[in-house]
């Protein structure tokens, strides 16, 4: 299969690209390198530098490489930033993705695996969250992804567009040679590990009076390899299924304080804490039920333990710190 991966130079997209090529598929990475580097493009893939919203370039790429399916990761991903600049998120995540869909339809490509998010649920009524839960985003980031899911439903209904929408929870961990780092950094696990490496003085906890056992937000953490393997399963399933919506998570939640404690165990470093006010738009608890994808596609998390996830990330970050290498995510 010939697959085009938008955002394929990033953390998750690059990991999926690596697994796809290992499985014998041809991969074209399409990335603007705004949150990654040319060195981050997976070895063995074809690379096109470009914007998802460039209709002419995208359509040409789909045609010239005879693409069979697209895996769409390219997006802005910071919920906090989306509360300050919502227009950026609707432009980049929603409007540009519509242009991608127009290019796909024109080129005759009608299979897509979409990188969605648990943020489409907002503050859930119950946990673990199932796929039929109400969709009520509490920030423009989640809303921008929900708009794409709504587009997909109509494209499926009218044009026979085949798609899998995968709603992620918190992704962490690393595979050999590829891990997570942003500039500037905003995700909890790499921030904590930066403290352990001495690159930061402390880790900030945003909000300590949420309605949770220790007052901090609870999230579901999934290993990036487990996440990537789910994408391969979904891509293969599109040959038989025409529409899929799945949660991807461990099914168990960990608070911010629990993640910090796990990192202390793994790294052996004290990791000082700074308590800060809560950020607007942050739900208190997001935990997934992944029973649907397990039941229908046979997927399961092979690395469900928080210590194991952090240990893989820690190993990669130590190598990154020594060598100065950096793989960013989109």
Distance CA 233, CA 235 (A): 5
- Dihedral of alpha carbons 138, 129, 220, 114, sign: negative
The tokens for 144 are 């921008």
- Cβ atoms of 94 and 147 within 8 Å: the answer is yes
- Supply the residues annotated as catalytic: 141
- Cβ atoms of 330 and 168 within 8 Å: the answer is no
Residue 245, strand partner residues? 165
Q: Looking up tokens 């997006």, which residue turns up?
A: 75
Pairing of strands 243-248, 285-286: unpaired
> Is the bond into 184 cis (omega within 30 degrees of 0)?
yes
DSSP 117-161: EGGGSBS-SSSSBPTTS--B-SSHHHHHHHHHHHHHHHHHHHH--
Collapsed DSSP state (helix, strand, coil) of residue 249:
coil
- Dihedral of alpha carbons 164, 140, 326, 49, sign: positive
Distance CA 251, CA 196 (A): 28
Phi, psi of 180 (to 5 degrees): -110, 125
- Cβ atoms of 221 and 168 within 8 Å: the answer is no
Residue 264: CA count within 13 A, CB half-sphere: 12
Phi, psi of 9 (to 5 degrees): -90, -5
């Amino acid at each position: 299969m010939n697959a085009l991966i938008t955002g394929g130079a990033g953390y998750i997209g690059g990991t999926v690209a690596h697994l796809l090529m290992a499985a014998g598929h041809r991969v074209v990475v399409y990335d603007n390198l705004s949150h990654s580097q040319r060195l981050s493009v997976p070895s063995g893939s074809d690379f096109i530098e470009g914007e998802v919203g460039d209709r002419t370039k995208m359509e040409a790429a789909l045609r010239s490489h005879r693409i069979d399916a697209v895996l769409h990761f390219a997006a802005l991903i910071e919920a906090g930033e989306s509360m300050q600049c919502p227009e950026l998120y609707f432009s980049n995540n929603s409007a540009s993705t519509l242009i991608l869909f127009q290019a796909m339809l024109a080129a005759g490509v009608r299979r897509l695996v979409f990188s969605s998010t648990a943020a489409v649920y907002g503050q859930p009524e119950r946990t673990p969250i199932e796929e039929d839960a109400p969709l009520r985003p509490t920030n423009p980031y989640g809303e921008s992804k929900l708009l794409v899911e709504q587009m997909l439903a109509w494209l499926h209904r009218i044009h026979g567009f085949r798609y899998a929408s995968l709603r992620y929870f918190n992704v962490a961990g690393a595979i050999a040679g590829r891990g997570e780092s942003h500039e500037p950094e905003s995700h909890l696990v790499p921030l904590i590990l930066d403290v352990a490496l001495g690159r930061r003085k402390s880790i900030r906890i945003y909000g300590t009076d949420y309605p949770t056992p220790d007052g901090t937000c609870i999230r579901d953490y999934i290993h990036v390899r487990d996440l990537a393997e789910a994408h391969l399963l979904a891509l293969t399933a599109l040959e038989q299924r025409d529409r899929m919506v799945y949660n991807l998570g461990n099914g168990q939640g960990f608070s911010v304080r629990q993640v910090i404690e796990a990192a202390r165990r793994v790294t052996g470093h004290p990791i000082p804490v700074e308590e800060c006010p809560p950020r607007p738009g942050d739900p208190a608890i997001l935990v997934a039920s992944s029973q649907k994808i397990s039941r229908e596609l046979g997927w399961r998390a092979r690395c469900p333990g928080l210590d194991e996830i952090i240990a893989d990330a820690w190993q990669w970050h130590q190598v990154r710190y020594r060598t100065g290498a950096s793989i960013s995510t989109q």
